[in-house]
Each structure stands twice: as C-alpha cells, then as structure tokens.
Amino acid sequence: MTNVSGGTLRRRPAQRRSVERVERMLDECARLLDEVGYEALTTKEVARRAEVPIGTFYQFFPDKQGLVRALALRNLEAFLDRITTRISDAGPSDWTGMVDLAIDEFVAMKRSTPGFGVVDFGEVLSAPGGPALKGTERMLDSALENNIVVADRLRAVIVELLGAPEGPGLDRALVVAVEAADAVLKLAFRTLPDGDPELIAECKHLVRRYLSGHVS
C-alpha cells in the first residue's frame, strides 16, 4: 500500500484542541478554494478565517502546497469512507455495482463538497473540468502520480470487500480505469457545471466494459 500520509503534516495534532484547529484550517482552505481559487489562496487568510495564529499554521503545514496536499488526502479518505459505508450498508455485491457507486460518490462530492471542484485527490484545477496546474500531479505522494495512489487505495477496497483476485493485472487495470474515468468526468464537468449526466453515464459504461475483462 502507498503511504499517502507521509510528509503531509509537519507534526500530527495530539490534543483535541490541535485536531480541531487543523480541521478548521482545512475547512477554510476548502471554502477559499471555491471563493478565490488556488493562486489567490494565502496561508495568512486561511489562518485568519480559521482563527488561529499564523505561527500555529506553520507548526502543522510547511506552506500552502502542504495545506492543499492535506486537504486532498482528507478528500480521498472521505471518498473511500463513503464507498465502504455504502457497500457495508447493503451495497453492491460485485465489482460492477461498485463502479457505479464509486462514480456516483465522486460526482456527489464534486457537486457538494467545498473545495472539491478545485482540488479533489491532489490535482489542482483551474476550473472543475480542468485544466490542471503544472506540478500538482504528485500531490499525494512525491514518487507517484495522484491517480496511481487512488487506484491503489481502490484496489484495497475491492480486494477486501468484494474478494477480487490480487495481482499485477488487477493493479494495472485499475490504474487504466481511474485514468479513463478521470478524463471523462473532467469532460462532464467542463460541459455542465454539475456534470453532464449523459457523459457520467458513458463513464460508468466505459469503466464497466473495460474492467469486465480483468475482474470477475
């Protein structure tokens, strides 16, 4: 498994008060991304709105990029939690149902989660449908592209909850599926602000058909 949490925070909050401060900074970062975008986002304004001293900000985050990286990781964990909860609560019993579920949850987060339209799983977008800013393709892990990390985390869910066979073939197929879904969903949100429903449906169809040759 990829260690996506390594290097995200300068130090981990141990006390409840510190945890709450970190969460407030991430919340305000997300809201500001929607309001002003990544380029105009400043650490000073995040700290001001989160009502923490700027020195406290730098105790936990090295810079703006580190803050956004932590937000992307939180987004990914929230996405995976939503998927696993729905599967556990009488969700799909096979991988085809999980494809639809995962895409539906991603779309729902794009529509409702603050900051997710600008930074979902690491890549910083100038608009919900892209293009992405250069240098943000490895926000979750300095050695791996964001989509490879996402595919790795999804593989763990599929193997654990649905019993999919492990191996390099599955690993490679999930990377391709995530890359394809990412491209089509970007197109869907470029076409319509809330995502073109027909393109979202095509994305599901594309991923299901592709994975049918790799997952039984």
Is 212:167 a contact under the CB 8 Å cutoff?
no
Would 154 be classed as within a structural domain? yes
CA 214 – CA 177 distance, rounded (Å)? 11
pLDDT of res. 96: 81
Longest Cα separation, the chain: 54
b (16+ CB within 10 A) / e for 105-116: bbbebbeeebbb
Counted residue by residue, the chain has a size of: 216
pTM for the model = 0.90
Instruction: Give how many domains the chain has, as a whole number.
Output: 1
Would 43 be classed as within a structural domain? yes
Would 59 be classed as within a structural domain? yes
Q: In degrees rounded to 5, what are phi and psi of residue 148? A: -70, -40
Would 2 be classed as within a structural domain? no
Would 141 be classed as within a structural domain? yes
Would 6 be classed as within a structural domain? no
Would 9 be classed as within a structural domain? no
pLDDT of res. 122: 93
Q: CATH number for the domain including 41? A: 1.10.357.10
State the Cα torsion 184-186-188-190 to the nearest 10°.
-140
Nearest one of 116, 99, 111 to 192, comparing CA atoms: 111
Would 128 be classed as within a structural domain? yes
Domain that holds residue 104: 16-211
CA 78 – CA 84 distance, rounded (Å)? 10
Q: What is the pLDDT along the chain (216 residues), one digit of tens a residue?
A: 333 344 466 566 657 888 899 999 999 999 999 999 999 999 999 999 999 999 999 999 999 999 999 999 999 999 999 999 988 886 666 778 889 999 999 999 999 999 999 999 999 998 878 889 998 999 999 899 999 999 999 999 888 877 777 889 889 999 999 999 999 999 999 999 999 999 999 999 999 999 988 776
